[in-house]
Amino acid sequence: RIKAGIDVQIAAIKLAIADNKLALWDIKDVALIAAIKKQQLEFKDMIAALQLQKAQVKLTEVD
């Protein structure tokens, strides 16, 4: 159940990343583009943290 919840969070973040990529096509403001790219990196960090959390859950299930 915990792993499924983590998977849902990861999927939501990946959807936000895809939305940002689509938005970048229409944006001309350099500062806004930089902010979106920074947000993309933050999203990727969030995914990495969630994947680590999921791995820790798997380890505790084995023990």
Q: Name the pLDDT band for 15 (thresholds 50, 70, 90).
A: very high
Percent above pLDDT 90 for the chain: 86
Question: Which residue matches tokens 């990196």?
Answer: 41
CA distance 60 to 8: 20
Q: What is the pTM of this model?
A: 0.83
Percent above pLDDT 70 for the chain: 98
Domain hosting 48: range is 2-62
Q: How many domains does the chain have?
A: 1
